[in-house]
Structure 1
Amino acid sequence: MKRTKPVFQTALPQYVGLPRETEIREGRGQYLCSDEEGLNEEQQLVFDLVVKQGKSVFFTGPAGTGKSVLLRKIIRSLATKHLGESNRVGVTASTGLAAYNIGGTTLHRFAGIGLGQAPTTKLIRDVQKDKFKLRRWLDVRVLIVDEISMIDSILFDKLNTIARAVRGIALPFGGIQLVLSGDFFQLPPVRKGADDGSPKFCFESKTWSSAIQQAIGLTQIYRQRDPEFTRMLNQIREGRLSPDTIEKFRKLHRPLADNGAEATELFPLRQEADRANSKRLQNINGVAYSYCAKDGGIIKNPDTRKMLLSDCIASEFLTLKEGAQVMLIQNVDNTLVNGSQGRIIGFANIHSFLHNRWDYDDSHASIAPPGAFEKTMDECLPLYPVVRFAMQDGSTRVHFCQPVEWAVKRWVPDPWAVGGWVDEKLATRIQVPLLLAWALSIHKAQGQTLHRVKVDLDRVFETGQTYVALSRTRSMEGLQVLNFHPSKVTAHPKVKAFYESMSKRSGK
């Protein structure tokens, strides 16, 4: 029986995600030891409850409290705990981008329910008739869901019913351990259908109280080092602003100092961000370089392959020009990571990149051309963007952005392989790992740490949007806020009540 493993993994070994089985063997348990290092008291409590005690846990906290870092440590440790049985741990998130950031897949795809809008009885039959979907539900022991705030109560109850039915166990989620992470003060679930227009939060579900054994709020902030900025953001998060905080946010209307990278402008709607990026690109006079992703894999049906790759963060088509502001969408190392921003300073092949100097803006243009033999060799090599990235410490770093691979994989039994299993690539995408980054949607920015952000609050319309947008930076120095008004700072009353009840139960 084949076991599905629908998880995006970049081809580079530096990517932080669910570790490959061979990487775990080489360390022989080192992940578990190292993952406990550097945890504060709150994070250690969550880690112990999940990894050592096997409890179903929801952990939350303001932006910058290290939820994603903690979740990655938990994922790696659970992978070690279930060594050789990677199908025991389901790594998922509510959105494709959030899933990519933790090396997982979307919750909908893991569950095998499509959009999840069909009647529950039909979804159960669909799972039971598909041997791969059924095997996934039967094998999983721990289900991880990041950005749980965007999963509504209806879907959460459906998943509970499906799990109990297909596993034949009457316990919540059929006895599966749940690890849920997210912040309900951030973006709410997408509203669907003809209802009263109010979000149906996951914690309102019939299943929540019986399925979650422990709820823990993280409080120690890592993203923002400025205590004053942290205090201001906490007020934004909870929708309770002091006159002093209002005045300080209004002063952030000023333009940001130029450090070589423009601030990323955040928009409530993706279409607005796409239009802004396209307009800025058109305004650049220069040669346009277009990159069409090369899709492959053992799945040959184009519709099926397209469906499998629908959550891939890499664009199918990408057009870039020298001078364009871009964002990296893969981790290269500890300093050049997914979300790093920079500007394209030229295009090169691997040979011309290595033989020219790129430490000054125009230095590569003044370098003498290569000899006749070298030039002929260069003409056979494709050109890719060279990007100067702005680092958090104020320095810059030049990187040659060659295409990399993302893949949807599954485990396949192989008696000749070490451990008896090999990865089989169902669908792959090879593309330059960049996105235009003059503008992003607030939805796409959720979970990202951006060095410089510009946001016009006249455009926000949803609870949580202002908080998500303003909390993307580490400091006020990297934040420009236009049209700040207290009326744009809103927290949903249901969310406020939920967190107040959490605080009372925890004694905080």
Structure 2
Amino acid sequence: MINQVLKYIRNSAQPFGGMQVVFAGDFFQLPPVSREPEPSNQKFAFMSKAWVEAAPVVCYLTEQYRQTKNELNTILNQIRSNEVDESAVQLLQETRYNEHTIEPTKLYSHNADVDNMNEQELKALDADEEIYFAKKTGNAKMMDSFVKSLIVQEKLILKKGCKVMFLKNDHERGIMNGTLGVVVDFGKDAEENGPYPMVQLMDKRKILATPEVWSINNEKGTPMVSFEQIPLRLAWAITVHKSQGMTLEAAEIDLGKAFEPGQGYVALSRLKELDGLRLLGINRMAIEVDPLAFKADQRFQELSGDIDQLPEDDFKNEWESHIYAAGGTTDEKELKKHRNKKVAKEKKISTHEVTIQYIDQGMTLDQISTERGMAKSTIQGHILTISDKFPDVDISAYRPDAVLMERINEEYQKADKKAKEEDYSEDGRLKSSIIFRALDGKVDYSTIKLAYAFLDV
């Protein structure tokens, strides 16, 4: 569909309308679950008419970042090569006796096993339920399709003591998609919204899990559909399919009912090393990969090897040909003229200036977050930047309450007196993580940053 749409929009019969397209992925990962059986040649992009028409140049990436050169990495490479030996199977089976310092996430091949495990564990907890319903806005038909692609749930039921997994990256707070923890309490955020779950991570840090936004935006950055929910799910168990993209410290995996080639590869590759694995069962299907994907992978490696042998001048010529075909130029004089014209043009409005427009309308943080399809924490970060770069903008409406400001200011002054050079961010302020720890994690990072906008530092 993308191929046809781009041809139409760009009025060109060339593949993807003549646009340069980069495909990235691993065909040993699992395709989406289908209710109807599909032959292999309908599951893979490389079998599509658009792929064949585009005839992409293949660059095979070999660097591994999740696993280092250890036993698990060796086993995964054997699965990819379709050459799993008995010693590899024995190593996997021996992990049944591994002991973990944390309760491992359980991975199953079937949804029924996962739902049953999570429901049993949640029901067994003697605690009150907190129920969170997603907020959905936008085109109804697009939303139906969008929701199916999300791992986050429309209705989330939690209790104190339940095991959960974060579903969205938050690099500022050191949280990744797959970070595990336990709900230890429920509390309100700095603006008295909530109650939200307080999650204790494996490193003992406590994080208040506040709502996040998933959205599909148009070319102007305006959300066409928006889905807001607490970025958690129960994590005593998850399916192998849903685990794709995650990194797990510890996992208990049952591959005895694996029903599709690649399930074992995906499940095992969630871990960093064998010490984190406890394998309860495995069948032959679990250590197989799709035959068509295997053949394609072999061919991709060959094609990538052929490209590696080409002289550098060939790449330069291909690069220039593409630029000319797209209506561009490599002439330095023309490029200089273009740069000068670009500088002379009115600068594109920045994301912070967009937020300022909503501030001027008197919107609350929650309203701006919804309107922009961004997390509230992102908008709070905008306020801090605006206070620095646009000091004339009135942000007083977003000032945290006096008691909280006093607490943050007090801890800031204490920390500032004994801070080292590496404790400061590029803007000259103390890193928010220092104040976060000083307040025992009771105030989230984004609220601390918001408070920074009003501190005299």
Q: Is the 8 A contact 1:407 1:425 kept in 2?
A: yes
Task: Name the residue aligned to 1:389.
Answer: 201
Q: Is the 8 A contact 1:328 1:340 kept in 2?
A: yes
Q: Is the 8 A contact 1:265 1:453 kept in 2?
A: yes
Offset of residue 303 of structure 1: 6.1
Q: Unaligned regions of 5+ residues in structure 2, if any?
A: 307-457
After superposition, the CA RMSD in angstroms is: 2.8
Name which of 465, 486, 495 aligns with 2:263.
465
Q: Deviations over 1:406-453 (max 9, x none)?
A: 3443355xxxxxxxxxx4344433322211111111111111111111
Name which of 239, 254, 262 aligns with 1:441.
239
Q: TM-score, normalised by structure 1?
A: 0.54
Q: Deviations over 1:181-212 (max 9, x none)?
A: 11112214655757667654222234424414
Task: Name the residue aligned to 1:343.
Answer: 182
Q: Is the 8 A contact 2:15 2:53 kept in 1?
A: yes
Give SS of 1:337's match: coil
Partners of 1:495 and 1:411 in 2: CA distance:
34
Task: Name the residue aligned to 1:204.
Answer: 47
Q: Deviations over 1:199-233 (max 9, x none)?
A: 54222234424414311221121101242221111
Q: Is the 8 A contact 2:259 2:285 kept in 1?
A: no
Task: Name the residue aligned to 1:403.
Answer: 211
Give SS of 2:64's match: coil
Q: Structure 1 residues 385, 162: closer, same or farther in 2, change over 3 A?
A: closer
Q: Is the 8 A contact 1:246 1:486 kept in 2?
A: no
Task: Name the residue aligned to 2:300.
Answer: 502
Task: Name the residue aligned to 1:267.
Answer: 108
Partners of 2:304 and 2:50 in 1: CA distance:
21
Q: Structure 1 residues 160, 436: closer, same or farther in 2, change over 3 A?
A: same
Offset of residue 476 of structure 1: 1.0
Partners of 2:188 and 2:36 in 1: CA distance:
50
Task: Name the residue aligned to 2:78.
Answer: 235
Q: Structure 1 residues 499, 307: closer, same or farther in 2, change over 3 A?
A: closer
- Establish whether residue 474 from structure 1 lines up as the match of residue 272 from structure 2: yes
Q: Is the 8 A contact 2:98 2:278 kept in 1?
A: yes
Give SS of 1:346's match: strand
Q: Deviations over 1:232-286 (max 9, x none)?
A: 1111233311222121111011243223xx2111122334323321221111111
Query: Between Structure 1 and Structure 2, how many residues are aligned?
Result: 305
Q: Structure 1 residues 328, 230: closer, same or farther in 2, change over 3 A?
A: same
Partners of 1:496 and 1:283 in 2: CA distance:
44
Partners of 2:181 and 2:299 in 1: CA distance:
43
Q: Is the 8 A contact 2:129 2:157 kept in 1?
A: yes
Partners of 2:193 and 2:304 in 1: CA distance:
61
Residue type of the alignment partner of 1:337 = M
Partners of 1:162 and 1:350 in 2: CA distance:
44
Residue type of the alignment partner of 1:501 = R
Offset of residue 339 of structure 1: 1.5
Return the structure number with greater strand share: 1
Name which of 110, 113, 117 aligns with 1:276.
117
Residue type of the alignment partner of 1:405 = V
Task: Name the residue aligned to 1:295.
Answer: 136
Residue type of the alignment partner of 2:178 = G
Q: Structure 1 residues 456, 313: closer, same or farther in 2, change over 3 A?
A: closer
Q: Deviations over 1:39-63 (max 9, x none)?
A: xxxxxxxxxxxxxxxxxxxxxxxxx
Partners of 1:500 and 1:197 in 2: CA distance:
16
Give the greater-gyration-radius structure (CA): 2
Partners of 1:332 and 1:249 in 2: CA distance:
33
Structure 1 residues 426-435 or 189-198, which shifts more?
189-198
Q: Is the 8 A contact 2:136 2:227 kept in 1?
A: yes
Structure 1 residues 460-469 or 190-199, which shifts more?
190-199
Return the structure number with greater helix share: 2
Tell me: higher relative CO, structure 1 or 2? Use CA pairs within 8 A at least 6 residues apart. 1
Partners of 1:488 and 1:436 in 2: CA distance:
25
Residue type of the alignment partner of 1:327 = M
- Establish whether residue 247 from structure 1 lines up as the match of residue 86 from structure 2: no
Q: Is the 8 A contact 1:239 1:491 kept in 2?
A: yes
Q: Is the 8 A contact 1:188 1:463 kept in 2?
A: no
Partners of 2:74 and 2:232 in 1: CA distance:
34
Q: Structure 1 residues 220, 499: closer, same or farther in 2, change over 3 A?
A: same
Q: Unaligned regions of 5+ residues in structure 1, if any?
A: 1-157, 352-377, 413-422
Structure 1 residues 460-469 or 444-453, which shifts more?
444-453
Q: Structure 1 residues 240, 402: closer, same or farther in 2, change over 3 A?
A: same
Offset of residue 166 of structure 1: 4.9
Residue type of the alignment partner of 2:194 = P
Q: Deviations over 1:449-503 (max 9, x none)?
A: 1111111111111010110001101111111112234453112222222122223
Partners of 1:181 and 1:321 in 2: CA distance:
39
Q: Is the 8 A contact 2:58 2:303 kept in 1?
A: no
Partners of 1:311 and 1:167 in 2: CA distance:
28
Q: Deviations over 1:94-142 (max 9, x none)?
A: xxxxxxxxxxxxxxxxxxxxxxxxxxxxxxxxxxxxxxxxxxxxxxxxx
Partners of 1:406 and 1:165 in 2: CA distance:
29
Task: Name the residue aligned to 1:329.
Answer: 167
Partners of 1:164 and 1:410 in 2: CA distance:
19
Give SS of 1:173's match: helix
Q: Deviations over 1:380-409 (max 9, x none)?
A: 76322111112xxxx332111122333443
Q: Is the 8 A contact 2:71 2:273 kept in 1?
A: no
Name which of 257, 264, 282 aligns with 1:484.
282
